[in-house]
Structure 1
Amino acid sequence: MHGENALEKTNRINVLFDFYGPLLTDKQQTFLKCYFQDDYTLGEIAADFQISRQAVYEHLKRAGQVLEDYEAKLGLADRHSRLQAGIDLLEAQIAGLPAEWREPLSGTVAVLRGAE
């Protein structure tokens, strides 16, 4: 993978993997980790598992689609992103308040961040 689009895809797969990885098969988890987290090439994965590069590509493609399917049904990654944006906005608004109000509200933000 090359370029900005590749980075976006890698980030997307890693986020989805954080949420739904345990729902994948062991092989899907292994291939995704090797390719997207450990930066193995298709050829390196193929050699390790004694299969063709095309087979590795198909496994990765299928695993990525499974992750996308889970997200389409459950929406956990999107929900997480929206919550983080809301907490970020809350922090920015708290920063504009008088000092005596900031500390307890900042504690509440910390509790919200910890709830994730």
Structure 2
Amino acid sequence: MDKVIMMTLLYDFYGPLLTERQQKFIELYYENDYSLGEIAENYGVSRQAVHDTLKRAENILANYENKLGLIDKFLMQRNKLAEVARLLEDPREPSSQQLARARGILQELLEMDRG
């Protein structure tokens, strides 16, 4: 997965756990495409300070994902729901096999949320 997309996902899931400064730098760098120099100039710090803050925040976010796995779970659920949608979008009536498979996938997802 592309680093920018991954960092955006990590930030969406775990961003509130960062300091305000780390949150702002991540937003400016990854979401608003600011350069290290632009962020440094806006905050009156060195490019190295911005770089260090970003790296620290990236490591913190990655550690949360390694421990909690929320993004992996989210992506897996999204893929399963996309499969259900494909099974049910047949322009004709879905076959009994397609319906059974869709029900099975939905049941898996429900059971995952309980456990």
TM (norm. structure 1) is 0.77
Residue identity in the other structure for 1:98? E
Number of positions where the alignment pairs a residue of Structure 1 with one of Structure 2: 99
Query: Is 1:98 matched with 2:93?
Result: yes
Task: Look up the match of 1:9.
Answer: 3
Task: Look up the match of 2:31.
Answer: 37
- Distance in 1 (CA, whole Å) between partners of 2:65 and 2:51 is 21
Query: Is 1:50 matched with 2:48?
Result: no
How big is the shift at 1:95? 2.3
SS in 2 for 1:51: coil
Indicate the RMSD between aligned Cα atoms, in angstroms.
2.4
Q: Could you tell me which runs of 5 or more consecutive residues in structure 1 were left unpaired when the two chains were aligned.
A: none
- Distance in 1 (CA, whole Å) between partners of 2:25 and 2:75 is 26
List 4+ stretches of structure 1 deviating above 3 A.
none
Q: Could you tell me which runs of 5 or more consecutive residues in structure 2 were left unpaired when the two chains were aligned.
A: 97-101, 110-115
Deviations 1:32-84 (A, max 9, x none): 00100111110010111111101100100110110000000100011000000
